Structure 1
Amino acid sequence: MDPSARVYSSFKLYFYDFVVLVVSNALAWRCSTRAVLLPFFQAHIGERTHLDIGVGTGYYPAHSILKLARTTHVTLFDLNPATLHSAEQRLRTAGYNGVIEKVERSIFLPLPESLQAKFDSISLFYVFHCLPGSFPEKAISVFTVAAAGLAPGGVLYGATILGQGVHHNWFGRQLMAFYNKKGIFGNTKDSAENLELALKECFEDVKIRVVGMAALFEARGPISK
């Protein structure tokens, strides 16, 4: 298992949320979890089915219960079985009563047939900067796989920490260097421009904006290949 996936098993749930979603987002990446990322996540949740790729601690779906109440099926997709289990338990504890499906799989592999053309929304929050490689190539690979899961009219959206084209502060530079050295991050050459190239390669309708060090993106209309 890649270091970026394996690291989650060594974190306590509350500890990870505090370090990454509170401290790092506010002070290093300058993109607030509660003011920016969580509302963005909630605004795009689909009507019936949602796929969350790279579940982390399950923070975003667990804090979106009111929006998920209308959603009858949530699929959690991750390479790490520990995070899948934690995210499922957290979602249940938060009060989600719909179907939860767990898929332990690499996002670089084609989606199983059962997941194709199924989802009204697909989220990829803080996934890309943890993947090896650089934009646009790695994003094109992931978008090609994930796009196959979209139902007609569905939306794919997410956020990632950029390594190029943004001005990291001292704290951000130290975290970037540490995480990339450990293999937890792989984003030193990731830029918003190349992310947009990847989006336009795979989708007809794309939007991207940069908040602090994070790129927030959404895409509709997969391009057939």
Structure 2
Amino acid sequence: MAAPNADDQVLAGQAAYNRFVLELYDTVVLRLSCRLIWRCPKRLMLDNYQRNVGARHLELGVGTAYFPHVCAFPAPPDITLVDLNPTVLRVGARRLARYRPTEIRADVLQRLPVESGSYDSVAMNFLLHCVPGGWPDKGAVFRNAADALRPGGRVFGSTILSGGVPVTAAARHLMGVYNSRGIFHNTADDLDGLRAQLAGSFPQHQITTRGNVALFEATR
């Protein structure tokens, strides 16, 4: 059953992440594509994660839950996983079973069914370039993160950009393939647009780029 308010583009994009794809994700995406195509090794994403994660943590766009699986939390964590894809949620929850995470199936563009102002950190790694729409639409994800965070809480993550950063021919080609299949929605995702949307919800923020990946972190 579709989650409430999930439109066709959102549903089509998340459906690509089936069990077979998820089994290959850590190797193909995080190990090979990050380093060779997007030119941002996963260790930089992990460093960003480790620097910002808190004990009460909200994970938006779960993937394979690689980063919460390998990071060192500052205290025994209370983790909430949010994703529209039920297979992704099951795989992530199984990987993090030692933490007994809460699973919520929801569209990150809609108001999230979580307690406002209660999380120490919100992560969104490799999520925004998969979210349909332009930056004004994707800005809803930052607003939802801000609403979930306690004062002083941290939001952080990464996204693949198509403008405002150096993009190789190989990266441009692969993004074209993924966009044509509805897996990516980042043909208009540029650095200035990301900065504007992040600043709209988090005046205290920082963005660094490596290859055509933007790594961001901010404080509520």
Q: Tell me the TM-score normalised to structure 2 length.
A: 0.91
- After superposition, where does 1:73-92 map in structure 2 within 5 Å? 73-92=78-97
Matching residue within 49, 57, 82 for 2:64: 57
**Residue identity in the other structure for 2:36:** L
Gaps of 5+ in 1: none
Q: Tell me the TM-score normalised to structure 1 length.
A: 0.89
Residues 82, 103 of structure 2: 8 Å contact kept: yes
CA shift at 1:204, angstroms? 2.3
For residues 121-143 of structure 1, what are the alpha-carbon distances to aligned partners after superposition, in whole Å with 9 as ceiling and x for unaligned? 000000000011122x0232111
> Aligned residue pairs: how many?
211
CA shift at 1:174, angstroms? 1.6
User: Aligned-pair RMSD on alpha carbons?
Assistant: 1.5
CA shift at 1:10, angstroms? 4.7
After superposition, the Cα gap between the structure-2 partners of 1:12 and 1:186, relative to the gap in structure 1 and judged at 3 Å, is closer
- In the alignment, the residues of structure 1 paired with residue 105 and residue 122 of structure 2 have an alpha-carbon distance, to the nearest angstrom, of 16
For residues 51-94 of structure 1, what are the alpha-carbon distances to aligned partners after superposition, in whole Å with 9 as ceiling and x for unaligned? 01000011111111xx22613300011000100110111122xx
Matched with 2:40 is: 31
- In the alignment, the residues of structure 1 paired with residue 100 and residue 56 of structure 2 have an alpha-carbon distance, to the nearest angstrom, of 10
CA shift at 1:190, angstroms? 0.6
- In the alignment, the residues of structure 2 paired with residue 61 and residue 115 of structure 1 have an alpha-carbon distance, to the nearest angstrom, of 20
**Residue identity in the other structure for 2:194:** L
- After superposition, where does 1:108-123 map in structure 2 within 5 Å? 108-112=109-113, 114-123=114-123
Residues 143, 199 of structure 1: 8 Å contact kept: yes
SS in 2 for 1:132: coil
Matched with 2:131 is: 131
**Residue identity in the other structure for 1:107:** V
SS in 2 for 1:8: coil
- In the alignment, the residues of structure 1 paired with residue 202 and residue 173 of structure 2 have an alpha-carbon distance, to the nearest angstrom, of 35
Percent identity of the aligned residues? 36
**Residue identity in the other structure for 2:109:** F
1:70 maps to 2:57: no
Residues 162, 215 of structure 1: 8 Å contact kept: yes
CA shift at 1:19, angstroms? 1.1
Residues 129, 185 of structure 2: 8 Å contact kept: yes
Gaps of 5+ in 2: 1-9
For residues 164-192 of structure 1, what are the alpha-carbon distances to aligned partners after superposition, in whole Å with 9 as ceiling and x for unaligned? 12232222122101000001000011111
CA shift at 1:18, angstroms? 1.1
Matched with 1:160 is: 159
